[in-house]
Amino acid sequence: MRVLSVFGTRPEAIKMAPVVHALERDPRFTSLVCVTGQHKQMLADVMEVFALKADVDLKLMKDNQSLNDIVAGVVQGLDAVISEFKPDYVLVQGDTASAMAASLTAFFRNVKVGHVEAGLRTGNLYSPWPEEANRRLTGIVASLHFPPTEKAHKALLAEGVQDSAIVRTGNTVIDALHYMVDRITAPGPLREGLEKEFAWLDPSKRMILVTGHRRESFGQGFRQICEALVEIARRPDVEIVYPVHLNPNVQAPVQEILKGVQRVHLIPPLDYRRFVYLMHRCNFIITDSGGVQEEAPAIRKPVLVMRDTSERMEAIEAGVARLVTTDKAMIVSNALNLLDDEAAFAGMASGASPFGDGKASQRIIEALARG
């Protein structure tokens, strides 16, 4: 069976890496990888960390490109790849513009689509934007749906997807996380190198890890996020580490408001090894990332989610994550609660992991093999 895996962003690459590895190990498959290239450097870091090789690179990276630029580039570039390779399945992941565009391109070529991480829904087409629409559109044309959880499975059934086309797998990000945690915690040069690289962290302080990149927060939302971090950093027992996304809409407010603030460390985006190391070391995480909502509970790290809604309500319902929006007061009050209330912290660091057991990739390729 010929399988073409398509991805373009750092989170997609992390979540697809275990699937690509499983396909490459299995003699039942011929595997081809196509990257769209819209996250050029961040994607390259993940490819290197997971020893992935791109057979085709659409090289779509442009400064400040629009969603329409990305979609048009994927459709035009991938159409020729599908025509030449003639895959039995095109595999896409999640809710990005590249996943949606790739799924439509495959459908228009009458090629089956497998949707990894299917069925996540908020019910609000504009939150998260444009991810909710991307995921729904991908689901309409998919032949096989791989939801990570029971809630996602039920959402697909409610939309009329046949149960025979759904295989609940868990989330592949947990496969990737286990792979990386095993490596960074094992004695040896990798762990020693990471400890040396981050020796500037103060072990006497509680470290808060921050990430932020979502389009719907650009503008006033990001300013409030930054102002909240300034307020939290006033505490002498805390230090904040913020790997800052390269998007100019993120860089501008972050540099204006947070640069030079005591106990706030603004650092470049990290490859997956380094990011998992900081997740493993931190006290808790403040993020708007979907993937981090899935990963952090698996290593007992509370998560404050800077979004109005989440398509990953399993973490909220399990009590290991909280929605705090981009409102300054809500972010600050919830962060202080975790810092000052030991019972609240312990409850969120319970270890409940609703997103998988690390075997999602094998379930996916077995479903593909059955057709």
**Residue 242: Cβ within 10 Å count:** 20
Catalytic residue among 109, 178, 215, 300: 215
Using alpha carbons only, give the angle 306, 10, 353 rounded to the nearest 5 degrees: 55
Catalytic residue among 10, 12, 21, 95: 95
CA distances from 165 to 111, 177, 357 (A): 15, 27, 22
Catalytic residue among 12, 39, 121, 131: 131
State yes or no: is 145 an active-site residue.
Answer: no
Place of tokens 């991480």: 117
Verify cis geometry, omega within 30 degrees of 0, for the bond prior to 11.
no
Catalytic residue among 45, 117, 175, 314: 117
State yes or no: is 115 an active-site residue.
Answer: no
Euclidean distance between the first and the last CA atom of the chain, given in angstroms as a whole number: 9
**Cα(271)–Cα(283) distance, rounded to whole angstroms?**
20
State yes or no: is 213 an active-site residue.
Answer: yes
Catalytic residue among 168, 213, 274, 363: 213
What is the residue type of 47? M
State yes or no: is 48 an active-site residue.
Answer: no
State yes or no: is 117 an active-site residue.
Answer: yes
Catalytic residue among 10, 245, 312, 322: 245
Place of tokens 């275990």: 18
**Cα(120)–Cα(123) distance, rounded to whole angstroms?**
9
Q: Could you list the active site residues?
A: 95, 117, 131, 213, 215, 245
